[in-house]
Amino acid sequence: MAQDLRTERPPLGVVAAYRVFGRRPAARYDGWLRDDLDSRAYPWAEAAWSLVIAAPLGVAMAVVLSLPVRLVVVAIALTYPVAVLQAFGGRASSRVRYFGADAEADHVGHFRPYRGMSED
């Protein structure tokens, strides 16, 4: 018996507040939030939103401080892999932050919990 597992995706403003400021989306988006935290793309998407902050700040600093453009581009490019690594490590803490302390204990990932075979 297959269930309809489609989840409602929040609007862009809610996603931006979640990615940039860590604000939890409304409860009606819990399915989407769980899917997001469990997805393979989570660290990459989380890091991409860090560029939304880093790029304008880098450009502004380059203009104000008269820095070479190459230096700013390299600095911005280096923030992405660092943000990806932070997101890989922060996934479990994000799950606990958004769903409570028992969320990580109940989480089994993409697989079903192990059930032993009966000897009948």
> 76: helix, coil or strand?
helix
The pTM assigned to this predicted structure is 0.69
Distances (CA, A) of 50 to 13, 106, 119, 120: 15, 29, 53, 55
pLDDT in tens, 62-119: 888 888 888 888 888 888 888 888 888 888 888 888 888 666 555 555 555 556 666 5
pLDDT in tens, 96-107: 888 886 665 555
